Amino acid sequence: MELELRHLRTVRAIADTGSLTKAAATLGLAQPALSAQLRRIEKALGGTLFERDHTGARATPLGELVLERARVVLPAVSELQAEAVRFANATGPLERFRLGGTHGPLLGGLVDRIATANPAAPVSTYTSWSVDEIAALTIDGRLDFALIGTCGESPPPLAERLVWEVVGVDPVFVMLPEDHPLAGEKELELAALADQCWADVPGDGCFADCFATACARAGFTPVSVYETDTSSVVHLVQVGRAIGLCRATFPPVPGLVTRPLAGAPLSWRHLLGWHPHSPAADAAAAAVAGQTRTAYAEAVSRSPSYARWLTENPRFGLVS
């Protein structure tokens, strides 16, 4: 039998879990099948890789040697595969632009600016609630640029493998019907909304935890939080079912108003990301970053109340 990558993954799984039973569950195999596979691997390598007893499995000196090599080989092969996918999907920065983003207010503006600046280059988009998914597609070369948001100062996904630039920082505002008793206030104390239900869009970051923490500091626990798509959030606010949580750059909606929370207890960073070795990004990153900042500035200008708020809160807004 010749040694294959799947055999190295098997050895690593056993070492990482410390048990054939746990490794079998991790690999999706039956424990007897994994035991038989390990015997074949040990026969091919000429010796025992693990000492096994009722406490688990521990690597022998030969096993440690194999694990040492596996921890070098497996990541290298994974990177080779990712690099090959990027190369196969890269067609040059002037031929097309593939943009990925979460469901935020800036993606449409960025598409418009790129399409205007590059009329001969098709622009495609892919949206997802998951910033991890968007980042992974950018790593794989299936997207050229990723436009995402992160809560507060939390790091963007795969920060060690992608380049991320902060475009702007928004406070999180609340969205109310224009006839709500508090709609006329310049800003709202979070505690004044303690008896309200809430609505926001889902995500895989820490925003839900940060919101719960902000509410706890204000002395209450939210009655309920509806996580749903943007249109449904707007509808729930319109019918008086919930107060919406939104970025300050959320576009105006007839019949609704957005208001800042006193002290800006929650914030949202808009980021543009790309793979540092992407052929498209190498040639277009600076231009796309500039277009993204312009799209952000235009989003701010569409909300005069937010533009005025920024003059008193300069730590937010466009990051140059």
Indicate whether 131 and 37 sit together in one domain: no
Q: How confident is the model at residue 93 (pLDDT cuts 50, 70, 90)?
A: very low
Q: How confident is the model at residue 80 (pLDDT cuts 50, 70, 90)?
A: confident
Quick check: 85 pLDDT over 70?
no
CATH number, domain with residue 129: 3.40.190.290
pTM (two decimals): 0.71
The CA–CA distances, whole Å, from 119 to 109, 156, 304, 314 equal 15, 31, 31, 36
Q: How confident is the model at residue 94 (pLDDT cuts 50, 70, 90)?
A: very low
The tokens describing 9, both together, are 């993954």
Quick check: 279 pLDDT over 90?
no
Indicate whether 137 and 28 sit together in one domain: no
Task: Give the model confidence (pLDDT) of 152-197 as tens digits.
Answer: 999 999 999 999 999 999 999 999 999 999 999 999 999 999 999 9
Indicate whether 105 and 127 sit together in one domain: yes
CATH number, domain with residue 82: 1.10.10.10
Look at the block and give the residue holding tokens 């007839």. Answer: 254
Indicate whether 145 and 242 sit together in one domain: yes
3-state helix, strand, coil in the chain (%, to 5): 45, 20, 35
Indicate whether 194 and 122 sit together in one domain: yes
Mean predicted confidence (pLDDT) in 276-295: 86
The residues, any chain, with a CB within 8 Å of residue 218's CB and separated by 6 or more, are 189, 190, 191, 194, 265
Indicate whether 141 and 115 sit together in one domain: yes
Indicate whether 99 and 52 sit together in one domain: no
6: Cα within 13 Å, side-chain hemisphere? 8
| C-alpha to C-alpha distance for 65 and 3, rounded to whole angstroms | 15
Which helix (H) or strand (E) segment is 55 a member of?
A: none
| C-alpha to C-alpha distance for 173 and 252, rounded to whole angstroms | 12
Task: Give the model confidence (pLDDT) of 12-53 as tens digits.
Answer: 999 999 989 899 888 888 888 888 899 999 898 899 999 988
Final residue before a domain boundary, out of 60, 89, 118 = 89
Q: Which range marks the domain in which residue 55 is found? A: 5-89
Indicate whether 102 and 77 sit together in one domain: no
Final residue before a domain boundary, out of 39, 67, 89 = 89
Indicate whether 140 and 231 sit together in one domain: yes
Give the pLDDT score at 256: 95
Q: How confident is the model at residue 1 (pLDDT cuts 50, 70, 90)?
A: confident
Indicate whether 41 and 170 sit together in one domain: no
Instruction: Provide the number of structural domains found in the chain.
Output: 2
Indicate whether 13 and 113 sit together in one domain: no
| C-alpha to C-alpha distance for 275 and 33, rounded to whole angstroms | 40
Final residue before a domain boundary, out of 89, 108, 129 = 89
CB 150 within 8 A of CB 245: no
Indicate whether 230 and 282 sit together in one domain: yes
What does the DSSP assignment read for 94-108? TT-EEEEE-S-SSHH
- The C-alpha angle 303, 305, 307, rounded to 5 degrees, equals 70
- The C-alpha angle 201, 205, 206, rounded to 5 degrees, equals 100
